[in-house]
C-alpha cells in the first residue's frame, strides 16, 4: 500500500540519517582528541657555553608536534642494549619525526624522540635525535663523527618560570661508563639552557 511504503521509506531515511549523524559526530570527536594529543608546542632558550666554550651563547628553538610514547622509549632501550650507540642511532633514524630543533649556525633538524616527564614543580622534556654531520667531518673522517647524537633536557618550573633550567648536548654519544651507568660522552662540553620561554605556558596567569 502506498501509505505504508511511504511510512517505511520515511523510517529508513530517519535511521540512515541518524546513523550518518552519529558517524560524523564520532569522526569529529576523534579529530578533536587527535589534535589535542598533537598540539604543537614551542620552546625557546639561550644556550650558554661552559668550560672552554664559556662566554659563548647560542639560540635554541625546539618545536614539539607530539610526545614520544613508552613504546618508543622501550625501542630505544632495546636498541642500545643490542648495539649500544650505533644501535641507538639506527633506531632513531627509523623513527618518524615528532618535532624539530634549530640551533644558531645550523639549518635545523627533525627530532626523533621527545619524552614528557611530570615532576613536582612542572615537567621535564627530554629529546634526542641523530646529529646532522657536516660535510668536512665526513670527508676528512674526523673523530667527531662518532659523536652523532644531539640531545638535551628542559626542566620546566610551572610555578616560577625563572627557575626553569635545561642542558644541551649538541654533539654526543651514549656510552656505558665504568660504573655500568648510561651517560652522554661529549665532543666538547655541555651548554646550559637559560632564559627559557615555554610558549604553551607564556600566556598563563597561573
**Domain residues of the chain, as ranges?**
1-37, 39-198
Per-residue pLDDT of the chain (206 residues; tens, 9 = 90+): 555 555 455 545 444 455 554 554 454 444 444 444 456 899 999 999 998 888 899 999 999 999 999 999 999 989 999 999 999 999 999 999 999 999 987 778 999 999 999 999 999 999 999 987 666 766 667 777 888 899 999 999 999 989 999 999 998 988 877 776 668 889 889 999 999 999 876 544 33
* Cβ pair 26, 175 in contact under 8 A: no
Q: What's the grid cell of residue 9?
A: 521509506
Distances (CA, A) of 147 to 58, 112, 201: 19, 17, 33
DSSP-based three-state secondary structure for 1: coil
pTM for this structure? 0.73
User: CA 113, CA 78: separation in Å to the nearest integer?
Assistant: 15
Q: What's the grid cell of residue 60?
A: 635554541
Phi, psi of 158 (to 5 degrees): -75, -30
Sign of the torsion formed by the C-alpha atoms of 135, 136, 140 and 145:
negative
Amino acid at each position: 500500500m502506498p501509505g505504508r511504503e511511504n511510512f517505511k521509506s520515511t523510517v529508513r531515511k530517519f535511521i540512515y540519517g541518524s546513523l550518518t549523524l552519529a558517524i560524523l559526530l564520532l569522526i569529529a570527536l576523534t579529530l578533536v582528541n587527535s589534535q589535542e594529543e598533537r598540539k604543537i608546542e614551542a620552546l625557546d632558550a639561550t644556550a650558554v657555553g661552559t668550560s672552554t666554550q664559556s662566554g659563548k651563547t647560542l639560540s635554541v628553538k625546539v618545536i614539539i608536534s607530539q610526545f614520544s610514547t613508552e613504546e618508543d622509549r622501550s625501542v630505544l632501550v632495546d636498541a642500545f642494549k643490542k648495539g649500544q650507540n650505533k644501535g641507538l642511532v639506527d633506531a632513531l633514524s627509523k623513527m618518524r619525526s615528532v618535532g624539530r630543533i634549530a640551533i644558531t649556525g645550523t639549518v635545523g633538524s627533525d627530532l626523533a624522540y621527545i619524552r614528557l616527564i611530570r615532576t613536582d614543580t612542572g615537567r621535564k622534556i627530554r629529546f634526542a635525535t641523530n646529529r646532522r654531520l657536516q660535510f668536512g667531518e665526513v670527508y676528512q673522517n674526523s673523530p667527531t663523527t662518532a659523536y652523532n647524537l644531539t640531545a638535551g633536557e628542559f626542566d620546566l618550573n610551572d610555578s616560577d618560570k625563572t627557575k626553569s633550567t635545561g642542558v644541551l648536548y649538541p654533539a654526543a654519544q651514549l656510552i656505558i661508563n665504568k660504573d655500568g651507568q648510561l651517560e652522554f660522552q661529549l665532543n666538547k662540553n655541555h651548554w646550559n639552557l637559560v632564559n627559557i620561554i615555554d610558549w604553551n605556558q607564556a600566556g598563563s596567569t597561573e
